[in-house]
Structure 1
């Protein structure tokens, strides 16, 4: 989701250099223990929580331990060092690491939409992005995907960062300046977006609809990962995604369990929005278009030199059997 500065990437490269090659373990019938390191506890990652809480991994004979690393770089570093089997974060992290020589790839899709929205205070004129010119806008502290996409949209419409008065705040706190009236426009993730809506703010632009397929968050693994464990993991995740599409109420209930401190109505609204707008994908597959759009953003920002090779970077040997399973 978020993308850190060059120092973090340098540290990530160091972890890779010091890591040892993982050894595939022999397959066994059930209760295979695996660990996934997620960047954050995030509503975007709900498919993972549904797979765990809904018993879909258990049905595949997996005992999954979820760890929260605190950042994308730390989550991927856990995989590179061997302390986790899988990691969950933006695929750009994996692409940058692979470009530097790390033996990591993407094995499954988790978020397939640019999960960022623009909200405004009531009465604010917003017919197009050009209406933000000379306005105070609150957004997440760079580097983060929400602000990066906002800058990208400005550029695509003949504008630049200097055309707005940007207030950068820690992720998740964008609602503060918006509600306080310090800014009348905010670039937001969920659930902050629907927290703002609950306070009378309005959603004026959705990046999921604007950009369509967008590989926003995915599962990464080393090429030496236990293939049996990886196959089971992807299959369990695929079952969870199917379940989410046909059981929205039950999906909302799992989200409320995972985020007990949030208002239940806000959680339900956020889950409904992300299901409706295609943020939560229908399958674990990642299309060439979805990957290309996401990586183009990172190339434009100078974080990535070139597009990764789709046929090898996205591992379909795990994805295709999961799609074929019933």
Structure 2
């Protein structure tokens, strides 16, 4: 079964409607440094630097009082910014591009997730050398535009496969992918964390491959702001980047902080799952960034991925979409490379 290209068009056009309904040209007054009004897409483990900054008092240390609200969808932090309900968006980086195409002028200021966080899960004993091994198999995913679908789709194209005809897609509701592999309906599931570690600890499955590590460093999730806020509240932007930089340093200096804060933020997740997930957040291509700086290469990798998956309205350049000066200042202050 394949997913129709109209799904991609309707998704992208839907983002345009959300941005338009929020009012793209509303004037914004300069915001005070406190509170730091943050809109996150969904409450996800890959936003761990944000949660450490909040839970360990780093925003307060840098003169900000964090006010975090969960928007409920990957595109929803954009209207939160445009309506004035939030100042900082934490979501998929591609959302900043689509909003800017519609005239919103978003600027990415800090890297939150440094790898496209999708893993391949299979029954024990399964060998998987790379995306070419998807050929002829059934893959359990979430529905488009989830990265559990778009990332293997893109990886297969890069490997020379036709993802529309060479594999059988099994898009399922949230939480159903692991069972599909366990009971033999699917050969592989492509999943995020915590699902990868739930598969390993509760379904007797193996995590056989990291699609994100194979694709290389990418600014998978970021914090972005409106250009107006950037220009009128640079002190707030710098304080925010300082808090995120310090959180990322703490996480790499002591990975137990990851375990502790994850337990606080996700109390319903089995501690064994969090412990199993921890190494995957600090791998060769770390999901938890070593610093908040967004590099041109990380931008290029993300844009190539999102374009290939059909979720971008246009390819906008790094120079237009990223201001790395605040993250660079923060990295220098905290001795991050």
Q: Kindly state the Cα deviation for residue 129 of structure 1 after the two structures are TM-superposed.
A: 2.7
Q: Kindly state the Cα deviation for residue 195 of structure 1 after the two structures are TM-superposed.
A: 0.6
Unmatched 5+ residue regions in structure 1?
Answer: none
Paired with 1:252 and 1:236, the residues of 2 have a C-alpha distance of 19
Matched, 1:188 2:196: no
Q: What is the aligned partner in structure 1 of residue 300 from structure 2?
A: 292
Paired with 1:316 and 1:200, the residues of 2 have a C-alpha distance of 43
Q: What is the aligned partner in structure 1 of residue 206 from structure 2?
A: 202
Q: Structure 2 length normalisation: TM-score?
A: 0.90
Q: What is the aligned partner in structure 1 of residue 82 from structure 2?
A: 80
1:75-154 pair list within 5 angstroms? 75-154=77-156
2:16 to 5, 10, 18: 10
Q: What is the aligned partner in structure 2 of residue 280 from structure 1?
A: 288
Unmatched 5+ residue regions in structure 2?
Answer: 1-7
Matched, 1:236 2:236: no
Q: What is the aligned partner in structure 2 of residue 262 from structure 1?
A: 269
Q: Kindly state the Cα deviation for residue 304 of structure 1 after the two structures are TM-superposed.
A: 3.0
Q: Kindly state the Cα deviation for residue 125 of structure 1 after the two structures are TM-superposed.
A: 4.2
Residue aligned with 1:71, SS: coil
1:165 to 164, 168, 173: 168
On the 8 A contact 1:4/1:144 being kept in 2, the answer is no
Deviations 1:84-127 (A, max 9, x none): 01111111110111122112110100001111111111233434
Paired with 1:176 and 1:70, the residues of 2 have a C-alpha distance of 25
Paired with 1:51 and 1:232, the residues of 2 have a C-alpha distance of 11
Residue aligned with 1:261, SS: coil
CA RMSD of aligned residues (A): 2.0
Paired with 1:237 and 1:109, the residues of 2 have a C-alpha distance of 9
Residue aligned with 1:224, SS: helix
Identify if the C-alpha distance between structure 1 residues 244 and 12 changes in structure 2 by more than 3 Å, giving closer, same or farther. Answer: same
Matched, 1:174 2:177: yes
On the 8 A contact 2:116/2:220 being kept in 1, the answer is yes
Q: What is the aligned partner in structure 2 of residue 221 from structure 1?
A: 225
Q: Kindly state the Cα deviation for residue 295 of structure 1 after the two structures are TM-superposed.
A: 0.6
Residue aligned with 1:170, SS: coil
Q: What is the aligned partner in structure 1 of residue 39 from structure 2?
A: 37
On the 8 A contact 2:98/2:314 being kept in 1, the answer is no
Deviations 1:188-214 (A, max 9, x none): 110100110113211221123201111
Identify if the C-alpha distance between structure 1 residues 26 and 78 changes in structure 2 by more than 3 Å, giving closer, same or farther. Answer: closer
Paired with 1:235 and 1:12, the residues of 2 have a C-alpha distance of 31
Q: Kindly state the Cα deviation for residue 306 of structure 1 after the two structures are TM-superposed.
A: 4.3
Deviations 1:243-273 (A, max 9, x none): 0000101221111111111110111221221
Paired with 1:14 and 1:132, the residues of 2 have a C-alpha distance of 39
Paired with 2:11 and 2:320, the residues of 1 have a C-alpha distance of 26
Paired with 1:167 and 1:26, the residues of 2 have a C-alpha distance of 48
Deviations 1:36-88 (A, max 9, x none): 01000000111100000011111001100110011121111101111001111
